[in-house]
């Protein structure tokens, strides 16, 4: 009996310890602030928690975050966000590279692809369409210029439909080695995306409207810089539109 209890306690501690290890703080990158901060309120660093990548997947140097792309998975923000504006610069370092940022995300990867549910703000290198032909046909070029879509269990209505996804109405992304700037406005289930200085895409009626931010590692080396989150006032939200707190 004593041995059974000891074994049970050991297994419980192992499971809890593994979860804590997986959700530990991994690095700081970017800043967040309120739209109208109080007199004593300052910018705060964004802290990122390990989900299912590795310690060597990410590295911050000279205020640039580098992701090597392996293993496939995500890191998540320490806190959840509802209404906010996100500004970020990114560039791929490999032709055909794939990555993105999830917003309103549950940060709980699915077994089949290691990626969570949320609205994905797609970040693809321009050569992706040449490398992923189907029966000799290239995907639409708009695919690599900032698509928005509900990933996993998350759903949304596209402004510019390509199936359930929303495509950019103008091709504005730059290729390998060049910095792109995204401004992402997220308010009450609606998202608008500006690519390099012009709003060209959007979705609405997202099923998830408060959740984590997740940075995606998806097989290719990518760099991020100048990530800023401007927190806006909260709006009316239903309990089922908020992801589970981790």
Write the pLDDT tens digit of every residue in 133-185: 999 899 888 889 999 999 999 999 999 999 999 999 999 999 999 999 999 99
CATH number assigned to the domain covering 26-241: 2.60.120.560
pTM of the entire predicted model: 0.90
Residue pLDDT, tens place only, 62-120: 999 999 999 999 999 999 999 999 999 999 999 999 999 999 999 999 999 999 999 99
Residues 6+ apart with CB under 8 A from 112: none
Residue in the structure block whose two tokens are 């590795």: 54
Residue pLDDT, tens place only, 187-219: 999 999 999 999 999 999 999 999 999 999 999
Q: How far apart are the C-alpha atoms of 185 and 145, rounded to whole Å? A: 17
State residue 141 phi and psi, 5-degree precision. -60, -30
User: Which residues pair with residue 60 across a beta bridge?
Assistant: 65
Which residue, among 188, 186, 237, 229, has the nearest Cα to 34 in the 3D structure? 229
Q: What is the pLDDT of residue 18?
A: 40
Q: What is the CA radius of gyration of the chain?
A: 19
Q: What is the pLDDT of residue 24?
A: 82
Sequential DSSP letters for 196-212: SSSEEEEEE--S--BBE
Q: What is the pLDDT of residue 79?
A: 97
What residue ranges do the domains of the chain occupy? 26-241
pLDDT at 15 over 60: no
Q: What is the pLDDT of residue 22?
A: 54
pLDDT at 8 over 90: no
pLDDT band at 7 (very low <50, low <70, confident <90, very high): very low
**From the centroid of its chain, how far is CA 173?**
18
Q: What is the pLDDT of residue 37?
A: 82
Of residues 3 and 218, the one with the higher pLDDT is: 218
Q: What is the pLDDT of residue 38?
A: 79
pLDDT band at 21 (very low <50, low <70, confident <90, very high): very low
């Amino acid at each position: 009996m004593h041995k059974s209890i000891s074994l049970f306690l050991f297994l419980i501690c192992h499971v809890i310890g593994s979860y804590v290890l997986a959700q530990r703080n991994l690095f700081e990158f970017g800043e967040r602030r309120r739209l109208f901060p109080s007199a004593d309120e300052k910018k705060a660093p964004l802290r990122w928690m390990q989900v299912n990548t590795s310690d060597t997947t990410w590295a911050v140097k000279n205020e640039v975050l580098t992701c090597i792309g392996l293993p496939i998975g995500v890191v998540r923000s320490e806190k959840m966000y509802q209404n906010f504006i996100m500004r970020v610069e990114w560039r791929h370092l490999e032709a055909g590279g794939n990555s993105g940022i999830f917003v309103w995300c549950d940060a709980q990867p699915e077994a089949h692809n290691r990626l969570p549910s949320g609205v994905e703000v797609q970040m693809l290198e321009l050569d992706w369409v040449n490398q992923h032909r189907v029966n000799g046909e290239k995907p639409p070029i708009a695919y690599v210029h900032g698509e928005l879509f509900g990933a996993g269990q998350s759903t949304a209505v596209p402004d510019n439909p390509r199936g359930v996804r929303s495509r950019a109405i103008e091709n504005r992304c730059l290729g390998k080695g060049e910095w792109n700037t995204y401004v992402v406005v997220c308010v009450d289930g609606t998202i608008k995306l500006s690519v390099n200085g012009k709003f060209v895409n959007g979705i609405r009626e997202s099923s998830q409207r408060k959740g984590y931010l997740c940075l995606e590692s998806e097989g290719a080396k990518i760099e991020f810089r100048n990530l800023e989150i401007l927190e806006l006032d909260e709006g009316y939200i239903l309990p089922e539109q908020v992801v589970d707190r981790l």
